[in-house]
Amino acid sequence: MNNIIIREAEKQDCPRLLELVKELAEYERAPDEVTVTLQEFEDAGFGENPVWKAFVGESDGRIHGFALYYIRFSTWKGCRLYLEDFIVTEAMRGQGLGKLLFERTIAEAQKRGFNGMVWQVLDWNEPAINFYNKYKAHLEPGWLNVSLSKELVTAHAGL
């Protein structure tokens, strides 16, 4: 397992985390969708009002994966951990890093008393689906993702 260390992310990790986000976007066939700047990313995690936390997986002094999460409130379920990004570099897949990161995230949800975890997976990402199935995760059919871009929010704000 190459001396894998799982730890909480620190501000100085942000450039590497953003690199990995861009790698994930490439894999998910959406390379142009990552528009967040490093400054925005750092501020959102380590600024005055941080909105996310993350665990990083490190081996030989290099970050090879991370699990970034935040609190999501559901009027049906209460507070849940929302796993925004779960990334393991291709070179480290199958070596236990993903399992360690995911299980650390599960432990965090339990420790903080959340009413479960929720996240998204693309319907064609069979390796990820198979990984989540090992944990008996429920895949919810019938739901669509809905969003408004910053430009559309601005355009509609004056309604």
Region of residue 82 (phi > 0: left; psi between -120 and 50: alpha; otherwise: beta): beta
Quick check: 81 and 72 in contact, CB under 8 A?
Answer: yes
Where is 67: in which H helix or E strand?
Answer: strand 62-74
Q: For the chain, first and last CA: distance in Å?
A: 56
Phi-psi category of residue 5: left, alpha or beta, with phi > 0 → left and psi -120 to 50 → alpha: beta
Q: Among 27, 69, 70, 132, which one carries the catalytic annotation?
A: 132
Active site residue 132: yes
Which tokens go with 72?
Answer: 């999501």
Give how far Cα 52 sits from Cα of 46, 55, 67, 72, 142, Å.
8, 11, 10, 11, 28
Half-sphere exposure of 30 (CA within 13 A, CB side): 8
Compute the distance between CA of residue 22 and CA of residue 87 in angstroms, rounded to an integer.
10
The residues annotated as belonging to the active site are 132
